[in-house]
Amino acid sequence: MKKIFLSFVVYSLVELALLIGIGQKIGIFNTLLLIVATSVIGIYVAKNKGMNSVQKVKNSLALGEAPGPAVIDTMLNFSGGLLLALPGFLTDILGLLLLLPFTRKMFQPLVFYWMRKKMKNGQFIIVQR
């Protein structure tokens, strides 16, 4: 619990420092405009890329293929759009990293590892209907 609280405080302070620093460089109005623009883009991306990724999952299931990579791709696309929608520059940077195809490929093995670990511990269950 202490680690979560401490990480939240550190994240908030870094985000605030970035907002102040960028606000001083480009101006308050431009900073607020940039935050609103990235939020709108994030919502748009989460909706459209998310739907395209869900369609890829459906297609791979219809072909009888394992949807693992498509599911991970969908999760990373949606997470990237959601992070872009949140106000702040740190979340925007992480969101962009999750949305760009060449950097998203770097996150996929980490997500596979995390899911395997959760499945092994019984904390992540896949239900087949």
- Specify if 66 maps to a domain: yes
Looking at the domain assignment, is residue 119 inside a domain?
no
Q: Is residue 57 part of a domain?
A: yes
Residue of 58, 49, 127 whose CA lies nearest to 82: 49
CA distances from 89 to 8, 34, 104 (A): 15, 9, 19
In a domain, 129, yes or no: no
| Number of domains within the chain | 1
CA 31 distance to own-chain centroid: 22
User: Could you tell me if residue 41 is inside a domain?
Assistant: yes
Domain range for residue 47? 2-112
Tens digit of pLDDT for each residue in 41-93? 989 888 887 777 778 878 877 887 777 777 888 888 888 889 999 988 999 99
Q: Report pTM.
A: 0.78
User: Predicted confidence band at 121 (pLDDT cuts at 50, 70, 90)?
Assistant: confident
Q: Classify residue 31: in a domain, yes or no.
A: yes
Percent of the chain with pLDDT strictly greater than 90: 37
Helices within 27-100 (DSSP H only): 28-62, 68-85, 89-99
pLDDT at residue 39 is higher than 70? yes
**pLDDT for 22:** 93
Does residue 128 form part of some domain? no
33, part of any domain: yes
